[in-house]
Amino acid sequence: MSAASSVFQKAAADGRAALIGYLPAGFPSVEGAIAAATAMAEAGADMIEIGLPYTDPLIDGPVIQEAVHRALTGGVRIADVLHTVRALALDGVPVFVMTYWNPVDRYGVDAFARDLAAAGGAGMITPDLNPEEAGPWLSAADAHGLDPVFVVAPSSTGERLAKVASVCRGFVYAASVMGVTGERDAVSDAAAGLVARVRAHTTLPVGVGLGIKDAAQAARVAQFADGVVVGSAFVQCLLRAPDTDAGVTAVAGLAADLARGVRAAGKTRLWKTSARPDDAPSGGDNG
Closest CA to 54 of 138, 162, 129: 129
What letter would DSSP give residue 192? H
Active site residue 132: no
Residue pair 47/230 in contact by the 8 Å Cβ criterion: no
pLDDT at 3: 93
Could you tell me the strand order of the sheet in which 18-24 lies?
Answer: 147-149, 123-125, 95-98, 47-51, 18-24, 227-230, 206-209, 172-175, 151-152
Q: Is the pLDDT of residue 73 over 50?
A: yes
Residue 279 is assigned to a structural domain of this protein:
no
Among 14, 46, 56, 60, the active-site one is 60
Residue 269 is assigned to a structural domain of this protein:
yes
Q: At 226, which CATH number?
A: 3.20.20.70
- The pLDDT tens digits for 7-66 are 999 999 999 999 999 999 999 999 999 999 999 999 999 999 999 999 987 778 889 999
Residue 283 is assigned to a structural domain of this protein:
no
**Strand blocks (E) in the chain:** 18-24, 47-51, 95-98, 123-125, 147-149, 151-152, 172-175, 206-209, 227-230
Residue 284 is assigned to a structural domain of this protein:
no
| Whole-number percent of the chain with pLDDT over 90 | 80
Residue 282 is assigned to a structural domain of this protein:
no
Q: How many domains does the chain have?
A: 1
Q: Is the pLDDT of residue 183 over 50?
A: no
Provide the domain limits for residue 248: 3-273
Confidence of residue 269 (pLDDT cuts 50, 70, 90): low
Q: Is the pLDDT of residue 157 over 80?
A: yes
Residue 84's contacts (CB-CB under 8 Å, 6 or more residues apart) are 25, 26, 30, 33, 34, 37, 50
Residue 287 is assigned to a structural domain of this protein:
no
Considering the entire predicted model, what is its pTM?
A: 0.89
Residue 286 is assigned to a structural domain of this protein:
no
Among 49, 80, 147, 226, the active-site one is 49
Residue 285 is assigned to a structural domain of this protein:
no
DSSP-derived secondary structure for 65-127? HHHHHHHHHTT--HHHHHHHHHHHHHTT--EEEE--HHHHHHH-HHHHHHHHHHTT--EEE-T
Active site residue 49: yes
